[in-house]
Amino acid sequence: MSFRVRAITLDLDDTLWPFAPIGARVERTLDDWLRRHCPRTADRFPIPAMRALREQVFAEHPDLAHDFSQLRRLSLVRAMQASGDDIAHADAAFEVFHAERNRVEFYPDTEAALVRLAARRPLAALSNGNADLATIGIDRLFAFQLGAREHGAAKPHPGIFHAACERLGCAPGDVLHVGDHPEMDVAGAHRAGMRSAWLNRTDAAWDRTDLRPDLEFSSLAALADWLDAHSATETEAA
């Protein structure tokens, strides 16, 4: 399929790196820190109980569904209050979480593919999560990062896609959104009037009948290959 692409927006978790190892490591690291600094909290809320408390806090605050960082802070404060520990520790605990959350292991193709894509088109990160590209060390490859927390609404709401397009100075139909999630990324981009590329690293079957992604790739490198060929075709046509 051929169409104009003036800019690219990219999801982060499970698109540039797998999130599951990060989530598991964050839980262990935070639990270790709590056992040293807030032992009553660690005893009352071991990892499964802390996870359940976090889910409860998330459910109680649908108005903060776009702000994972604030929800995480609230969960820590709630746990410390319930355990009798000083809630002043919550800020330090959150910093431990934040540092570990941003220690990512890229998919093998990610870094080289990002360099290739950034050389062709402006890139913007568009994520519901709380990864920080500057902390991770790849912000130089992106025009900007737009998170659900900063925008005030999460994918798949069309507003966050439109805000990214506006900052890129492009009409939605000229921007390609790339992500792993059929609803948050593909359907969200589709409803916002953008082109979509489904990054299907697990060889999953597309099981929706109401829409399809414009493009599908098994790796970010394959997307970079497509964009190289697409750019060459555009140059020849010009």
Q: Contact 190/210 with Cβ under 8 angstroms?
A: no
Q: What is the pLDDT of residue 231?
A: 79
More confident residue, 226 or 68: 226
> Of the CATH numbers 1.10.287.610, 3.40.50.720, 3.40.50.300, 3.40.50.1000, which one belongs to the domain with range 7-17+106-237?
3.40.50.1000
What DSSP designation does 54 have?
Answer: H
Q: Confidence band (pLDDT; 50, 70, 90) for 221? A: very high
pLDDT > 90: percent of the chain: 90
Please provide the average confidence, as pLDDT, over all residues in the chain: 95
Amino acid at 82: A
The per-residue pLDDT for range 84-134, each reduced to its tens digit, is 999 999 999 999 999 999 999 999 999 999 999 999 999 999 999 999 999
3-state secondary structure of 80: helix
Q: Confidence band (pLDDT; 50, 70, 90) for 234? A: low
Q: What is the pLDDT of residue 238?
A: 45
pTM of the shown model: 0.91
Q: What is the pLDDT of residue 237?
A: 46
Nearest by Cα to 90 from 127, 57, 59: 57
Annotation says 210 is catalytic: no
Inform me whether the pLDDT recorded for 232 exceeds 70.
Answer: no
Q: Contact 216/198 with Cβ under 8 angstroms?
A: yes
Which of 11, 85, 132, 214 is catalytic? The answer is 11
Q: What is the pLDDT of residue 230?
A: 83
Largest CA distance in the chain: 69
Tokens of 104: 């990512």
Q: For 20-101, CATH number?
A: 1.20.120.1600
Distance of CA 53 to the CA centre of its chain: 23
Q: State the Cα–Cα distance between residues 227 and 235, nearest whole angstrom.
A: 12
The per-residue pLDDT for range 144-180, each reduced to its tens digit, is 999 988 998 899 999 999 999 999 999 999 999 999 9
Inform me whether the pLDDT recorded for 67 exceeds 90.
Answer: no
Residues 6+ apart with CB under 8 A from 66: 128, 148, 149, 151, 152, 153, 154
Distance of CA 84 to the CA centre of its chain: 34
Sheet of 215-217, strand order: 144-147, 123-127, 7-10, 175-179, 195-199, 215-217
Q: Confidence band (pLDDT; 50, 70, 90) for 65? A: confident
Amino acid at 52: A
Domain boundaries, the chain: 7-17+106-237, 20-101
Q: What would the mean pLDDT of 178-201 be, rounded to a whole number?
A: 98
